[in-house]
Amino acid sequence: MSFVRLDIQGIKVHYYFVCKRKLWLFSKGIQLESEHEKVAIGQLLHEHSYKRVQMKEKMVDDVIKLDLVDDDYVREVKMSSKMEKADRMQLLYYLYYLKQMGIEKKGSFITQRKNERKKLN
């Protein structure tokens, strides 16, 4: 069975588990929070965190954007663990997408506020 390229962005998977209305708005090109302070803080976290990691924000197929990639792991950096289910589902989607391409990785997400790490197997 060959891989059928999925055109679903990871952020859409995340929004599906956070708010269906937010997903609908995003899919129509409406991003209400693009000017929000927390979005700006999140962008700063991505720019200034994990400077020693070589593969930051790796885009795959112009569809999914991985925060951090190393030999074994795909890691997602999050500001808090408030939306843990949505974070988990987004990361599982990334792992599934990569697996369909023949790339086996483990996943974890790192919550900045508590510096907690959770692994997905």
**Average pLDDT of 90-108?**
92
Phi, psi of 73 (to 5 degrees): -120, 150
Q: Is residue 4 part of a domain?
A: no
> Would residue 14 count as lying in a domain?
yes
pLDDT in tens, 34-78: 666 766 776 676 666 666 666 678 889 888 999 888 888 888 887
Cα(29)–Cα(27) distance, integer angstroms: 5
Highest mean pLDDT among 57-61, 77-81, 96-100: 96-100
Give me the mean pLDDT over the 8-21 stretch. 92
For 62, which DSSP code? T
Q: Which two tokens stand for residue 14?
A: 């995340």
Please indicate, yes or no, whether the overall pTM of this predicted structure exceeds 0.95: no
Strand pairing partners for 111? 78, 116
pLDDT score, position 1: 45
Host domain of residue 28: 10-120
CA separation for the pair 95, 64 (Å, rounded): 11
Judged against a pLDDT cut of 90, whether residue 104 lies above it is answered with yes
Q: Across the strands, what pairs with 34?
A: none
On average, the pLDDT of the chain sits at 79
Cβ atoms of 94 and 107 within 8 Å: the answer is yes
Q: Is residue 32 part of a domain?
A: yes
